């Protein structure tokens, strides 16, 4: 009876060890799997900032569309949403310690900032 208990304990112990080894293999493979998955917008932005900081010189262009919807009350009856476009363009050069930026709202001429 004592031998039977030792054998079953050995089986359980070997199963636990195999389980821990399998878990270790899965956890070590996870970073490699994460590199193959598509990046989120945040991860793409962070990677772009890292590359731009390493280079030290870059241009940037952004277009922002802002839609304003009036609150639902009697004073705003018949009013519709309005969309406004804002464009931001610029250049950064760390070596020359220079930065240029222009902001354009709608069809108005760009303003140098």
84, 66 in Cβ contact below 8 A? Answer: yes
Res 94: pLDDT: 86
Whether the per-residue pLDDT at 9 is higher than 90: the answer is: no
Domain regions of the chain by residue span: 57-113
Task: Read off the pLDDT of residues 13-37 as tens digits, 9 standing for 90 and up.
Answer: 777 888 788 777 766 665 555 566 6
Mean pLDDT (the chain) is 83
Q: What is the CA radius of gyration of the chain?
A: 30
Neighbours of 46 (CB within 10 A): 12
For position 55, what pLDDT does the model report? Answer: 87
> How much is the average pLDDT of 45-51?
85
Q: Which residue has the higher pLDDT, 83 or 95?
A: 83
Q: How would DSSP label each residue in 38-105? A: PPPHHHHHHHHHHHHHHH-EEEEEEEEEEEE---SSGGGTT---EEEEEEEEEEEETTTTEEEEEEEE
Q: How confident is the model at residue 54 (pLDDT cuts 50, 70, 90)?
A: confident
Q: What is the dihedral of CA 33, 39, 42, 48, to 10 degrees?
A: 110
Q: What is the pLDDT of residue 10?
A: 73
Tell me: pLDDT of 83 over 90: yes
Residue written as tokens 């270790």? 24
Answer yes or no: pTM beyond 0.75.
no
With tokens 């569309």, the residue in question is 65
């Amino acid at each position: 009876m004592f031998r039977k208990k030792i054998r079953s304990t050995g089986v359980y112990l070997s199963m636990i060890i195999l389980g821990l080894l399998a878990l270790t293999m899965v956890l070590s493979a996870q970073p490699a799997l994460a590199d193959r998955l598509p990046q989120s917008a945040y991860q793409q932005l962070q990677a772009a900032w890292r590359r731009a900081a390493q280079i030290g010189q870059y241009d940037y262009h952004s277009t922002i569309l802002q839609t304003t919807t009036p609150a639902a009350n009697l004073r705003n009856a018949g009013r519709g949403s309005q969309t406004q476009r804002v464009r931001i363009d610029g250049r950064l050069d760390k070596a020359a310690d220079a930065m240029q930026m222009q902001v354009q709202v709608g069809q108005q001429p760009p303003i140098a900032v």
